[in-house]
């Protein structure tokens, strides 16, 4: 298996480490869970609905993946899951915040419920899980937290104000956390995907030409295309996550790694 820059990666790179992945039931969260397992980690897979994480548990077995159900917006529920993981699986070494919601709408039409729920999951959920993990990791002097954000956090998008703002909040929160925890040995980073072939992405498509429009861009909505000419697969994002939680990234913290095929034209 190849890692970043073609470096050979041992399958057991994360052997013996316990990871918690939120939003693990599908899409990027599922891909991250599979990637961490492939590197030898034991994964606590968390989602607010049970079906996806239970399928992962059944596929890999409880010695490798344990299924947990909670709403990341509920701080008490998240704390209870982290307690259970530490008690029954082992000390938490890795947290990957993936859980997220997207409900597109022009700002003038956003309801209070949509705004509040978007921030509750995308921002407060990151806070809840990160705080619970950080409290335990700092005492042990090691650990990695990665938040899966979005390139929408760094560039305006029409009809995505709530989503983009919530992801921007989660991104800056994670960087501030990394600054606070640096001397404790805990690293905190962000992976910011662009358009990725997930159920969330497909929900935005209106016809069979929608993927092509994503790749080519849409001048009417001031959106550039994807220079690499392809929509990401969840595994592309998962590979970036597994790099950042590995020892190969031991001197990287407070970093925001864009995985968007160049779509935001970042310098």
Of 119, 163, 243, 258, the active-site residue reads 163
- Residue 264: inside a domain, yes or no? no
Q: For the domain that residue 175 is a member of, what is the CATH number?
A: 3.40.50.720
User: What φ, ψ does residue 90 adopt, rounded to 5°?
Assistant: 150, 175
More confident residue, 222 or 4: 222
How many angstroms separate the CA atoms of 22 and 37, rounded?
A: 15
How many angstroms separate the CA atoms of 240 and 252, rounded?
A: 13
- Residue 2: inside a domain, yes or no? no
Confirm if 181 and 192 have CB atoms less than 8 A apart. no
Closest of 229, 134, 114, 116 to residue 174, by C-alpha: 134
pLDDT digit string (tens) for 17-66?
Answer: 999 999 999 999 999 999 999 999 999 999 999 999 999 999 999 999 99
Q: Across residues 103-130, what is the average pLDDT?
A: 98
- Residue 220: inside a domain, yes or no? no
Q: In the structure encoding, which two tokens stand for residue 74, read together?
A: 């509920």
Is this prediction's pTM over 0.85? yes
Residue 266 predicted with pLDDT over 80: no
Range of the domain at 104: 18-196+233-259
Q: Assign residue 41 a region: left if phi > 0, alpha if psi is -120 to 50, beta otherwise?
A: beta
- Residue 146: inside a domain, yes or no? yes
Residue 4 predicted with pLDDT over 60: no
Q: For the chain, how many structural domains are there in total? A: 1
pLDDT digit string (tens) for 128-168?
Answer: 999 999 999 999 999 999 999 999 999 999 999 999 999 99
Average pLDDT, the chain: 93
More confident residue, 5 or 141: 141
Per-position b or e across 31-46, b if 16+ CB within 10 A of its CB:
bbbbbbbbbebbbbbb
- Residue 221: inside a domain, yes or no? no
pLDDT band at 8 (very low <50, low <70, confident <90, very high): very low
What pLDDT does residue 211 have? Answer: 65
pLDDT above 90 as % of the chain? 83
Q: In the structure encoding, which two tokens stand for residue 244, read together?
A: 């950042």
Confirm if 29 and 67 have CB atoms less than 8 A apart. no
Active site residue 163: yes
- Residue 155: inside a domain, yes or no? yes
Query: Helix (H) and strand (E) counts for the chain?
Result: 9, 7
- Residue 204: inside a domain, yes or no? no
- Residue 211: inside a domain, yes or no? no
What pLDDT does residue 218 have? Answer: 85
């Amino acid at each position: 298996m190849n890692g970043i820059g073609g470096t050979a990666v041992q399958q057991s790179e994360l052997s013996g480490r316990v990871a918690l992945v939120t939003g693990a039931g599908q899409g990027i969260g599922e891909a991250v869970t599979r990637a961490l397992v492939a590197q030898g980690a034991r994964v606590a897979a968390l989602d607010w609905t049970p079906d996806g994480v239970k399928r992962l548990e059944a596929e890999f077995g409880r010695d490798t993946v344990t299924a947990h159900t909670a709403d990341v917006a509920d701080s008490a529920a998240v704390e209870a899951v982290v307690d259970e993981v530490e008690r029954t699986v082992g000390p938490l070494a890795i947290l990957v915040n993936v859980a997220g919601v997207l409900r597109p709408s022009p700002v003038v039409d956003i309801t209070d419920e949509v705004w509040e729920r978007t921030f509750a999951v995308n921002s407060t959920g990151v806070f809840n899980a990160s705080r619970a993990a950080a409290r335990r990791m700092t005492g042990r002097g090691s650990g990695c937290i990665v938040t899966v954000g979005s390139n929408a956090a760094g560039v305006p998008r029409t009809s995505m104000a709530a989503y983009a703002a919530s992801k921007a909040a989660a991104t800056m929160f994670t960087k501030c956390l990394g600054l606070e925890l640096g001397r404790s040995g805990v690293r905190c980073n962000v992976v910011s995907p662009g358009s990725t072939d997930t159920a969330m992405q497909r929900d935005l498509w209106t016809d069979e030409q929608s993927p092509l429009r994503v790749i080519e861009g849409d001048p009417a909505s001031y959106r550039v295309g994807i220079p690499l000419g392809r929509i990401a697969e969840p595994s592309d994002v998962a590979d970036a996550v597994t790099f950042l939680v590995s020892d190969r990234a031991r001197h990287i913290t407070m970093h925001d790694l864009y995985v968007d095929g160049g779509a935001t034209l970042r310098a």
